[in-house]
């Protein structure tokens, strides 16, 4: 992931320097477990523990010859070990994937914890914004067309609950990737005691794999990538709503626009939804990682490395991009400008057409047949309003008179009162208030 979208903490998780620190930690824990069991000399542990991790530059230099990253790492780290002979027992009984998969599990849990912190903050921001606007009337739209009266807080509440579910899904996926495998070549424990695996897992806050071959099967990592993609897409859904609301013809919502900010190099009047559009683009990046990661589940027999090259790109990119998206979405929600007056004006702009559903039901309740009388009457009146701009209540009144029907104006006043749509949402907002 390019630096533009990489936040420092998440960038650190996926840095080569941190990766080699984790590799040193895993190898040291394995060595400790062997020493406790008497498998290797106890005096080999301290020199290895004291040896500083090799630099990424030194590992890359050796790998240029070995064409094997783990061997290059072990050689570079041995060069830092005093006395060097103590490094002879490093990687004892292990295979490369024991090191790679276990350290990767730690990186994935670290990355997930950063994401969960930001997800918590986003859920709280969405909840608070929705509650603040629980009575802000707006028109609800279906297919982009005015439907019925709604409130802005209702729309945001939908996002809040979706973000909370996505966060909880991500939390569950953390368990799926927090898996340690130290089982040796082909995963049969032929040269390493399962107790070593249990010791390393406990020290790292992981759980031993139920079973592994030479690699941990990638269904858990696929679940994790999918959870990230869903969360990213919820962020995009929020952004899409803002993008529509900021259109000139709508003008109900505005992204935060800072002092000194410029909207266009050519048109000084522009205030573009650049944050929302950026979120839409980045969601594509996160979603794009799901299929390549999932295709790492089927491998040849006990192991091949066709998953490896994919994961070196997909896992950091997905988590780095979502980390940035969560922060940006939080900024978007926290700084969002809501024009309640414009929302009310748009709600009233179609001359009452947004009440056709309520009027239809009221006429049915008054004794008209739905299909033969009420629906045709309401539809004809509505189409006339679309065509002429005459308010719906007027066209309805005239069409009803022509058909010989008397309208209960008091009842129509009640069903065409927008505030009643607010009252029906009290229970939902009560659930929202307890969302954490």
pLDDT digits (tens, 9 = 90+) for 104-129: 999 999 999 999 999 999 999 999 99
Q: Where is 149: in which H helix or E strand?
A: strand 145-151
Mean pLDDT of 315-335: 98
State phi, psi for 38 to the nearest 5 degrees.
Answer: 80, 15
Cα–Cα distance measured from residue 344 to residue 355, given in angstroms and rounded to the nearest whole number: 14
**CA-CA-CA-CA torsion for 166, 171, 175, 180, nearest 10 degrees?**
110
Percent with pLDDT over 90 in the chain: 89
Q: Is the pLDDT of residue 131 over 90?
A: yes
pLDDT at residue number 267: 67
- Residues designated catalytic: 143, 264
pLDDT at residue number 368: 92
pLDDT at residue number 214: 85
Are the C-beta atoms of residues 70 and 62 closer than 8 Å to each other? no
| Cα distances (Å, whole numbers) of residue 30 to 16, 22, 181, 369 | 21, 12, 11, 79
Angle at 109 between CA 187 and CA 35, to 5 degrees: 50
Please choose, from the candidates 256, 232, 239, 228, the residue with its C-alpha nearest in 3D space to the C-alpha of residue 156.
239
Helices 96-132 & 306-334, crossing angle to 10 degrees?
A: 20
Mean predicted lDDT score pLDDT of the chain: 94
State phi, psi for 212 to the nearest 5 degrees.
Answer: -140, 150
| pLDDT tens digit sequence for 142-178 | 999 999 999 999 999 999 999 999 999 999 999 999 9
| Cα distances (Å, whole numbers) of residue 53 to 80, 118, 261 | 8, 30, 44
Residue 209's SS3 state is coil
Q: Is the pLDDT of residue 56 over 90?
A: yes
| pLDDT tens digit sequence for 386-413 | 999 999 999 999 999 999 898 999 999 9
| pLDDT tens digit sequence for 240-280 | 999 999 999 999 999 987 676 666 666 677 688 899 999 99
Are the C-beta atoms of residues 48 and 91 closer than 8 Å to each other? no
Q: Other CB atoms closer than 10 Å to residue 99's CB: what's the count? A: 21
pLDDT at residue number 306: 80
pLDDT at residue number 261: 67
Please choose, from the candidates 190, 191, 183, the residue with its C-alpha nearest in 3D space to the C-alpha of residue 213.
183
Q: Is the pLDDT of residue 289 over 80?
A: yes
């Amino acid at each position: 992931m390019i630096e533009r979208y990489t936040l420092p903490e998440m960038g650190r998780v996926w840095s080569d320097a941190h990766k080699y620190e984790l590799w040193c930690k895993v190898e040291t824990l394995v060595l400790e477990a062997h020493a406790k069991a008497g498998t290797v000399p106890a005096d080999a542990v301290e020199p290895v523990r004291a040896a500083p991790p090799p630099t990424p530059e030194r590992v890359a230099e050796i790998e240029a010859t070995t064409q094997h990253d783990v061997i290059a790492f072990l050689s570079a780290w041995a060069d830092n070990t005093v006395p060097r002979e103590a490094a002879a027992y490093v990687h004892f009984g292990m295979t490369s994937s024991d090191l790679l998969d276990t350290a990767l599990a730690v990186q994935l849990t670290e990355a997930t914890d950063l994401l969960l912190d930001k997800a918590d903050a986003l859920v709280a921001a969405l909840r608070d914004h929705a509650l603040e606007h629980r009575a802000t009337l707006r028109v609800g739209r279906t297919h982009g067309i005015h439907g019925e009266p709604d409130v802005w807080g209702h729309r945001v509440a939908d996002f809040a609950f979706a973000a909370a579910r996505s966060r909880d899904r991500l939390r569950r996926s953390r368990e799926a990737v927090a898996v340690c495998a130290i089982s040796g070549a082909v995963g049969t424990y032929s040269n390493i005691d399962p107790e070593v695996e249990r010791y390393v897992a406990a020290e790292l806050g992981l759980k031993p794999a139920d079973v592994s071959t030479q690699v941990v099967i990638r269904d858990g990592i696929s679940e994790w990538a999918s959870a990230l993609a869903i969360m990213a897409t919820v962020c995009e859904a929020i952004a899409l709503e803002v993008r529509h609301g900021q259109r000139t013809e709508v003008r109900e919502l505005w992204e935060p626009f800072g002092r000194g900010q410029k909207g266009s190099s050519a048109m000084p009047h522009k205030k573009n939804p650049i944050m929302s559009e950026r979120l839409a683009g980045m969601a594509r990046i996160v979603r794009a990682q799901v299929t390549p990661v999932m295709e790492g589940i089927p491998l040849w027999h006990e192991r091949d490395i066709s998953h490896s090259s994919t994961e070196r790109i997909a896992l950091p990119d997905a988590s780095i991009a979502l980390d940035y998206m969560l922060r940006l979405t939080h900024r978007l929600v926290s700084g969002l400008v809501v024009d309640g007056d414009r929302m009310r004006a748009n709600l009233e702009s179609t001359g009452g057409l947004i009440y056709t559903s309520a009027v239809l039901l009221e006429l049915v309740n008054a004794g008209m047949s739905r299909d033969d009388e009420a629906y045709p009457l309401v539809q004809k009146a509505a189409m006339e309003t679309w065509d002429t701009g005459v308010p719906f209540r007027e066209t309805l009144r005239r069409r009803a008179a022509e058909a010989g029907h008397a309208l209960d104006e008091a009842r129509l006043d009640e069903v065409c009162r927008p505030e009643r749509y607010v009252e029906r949402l009290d229970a939902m907002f009560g659930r929202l208030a307890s969302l954490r």
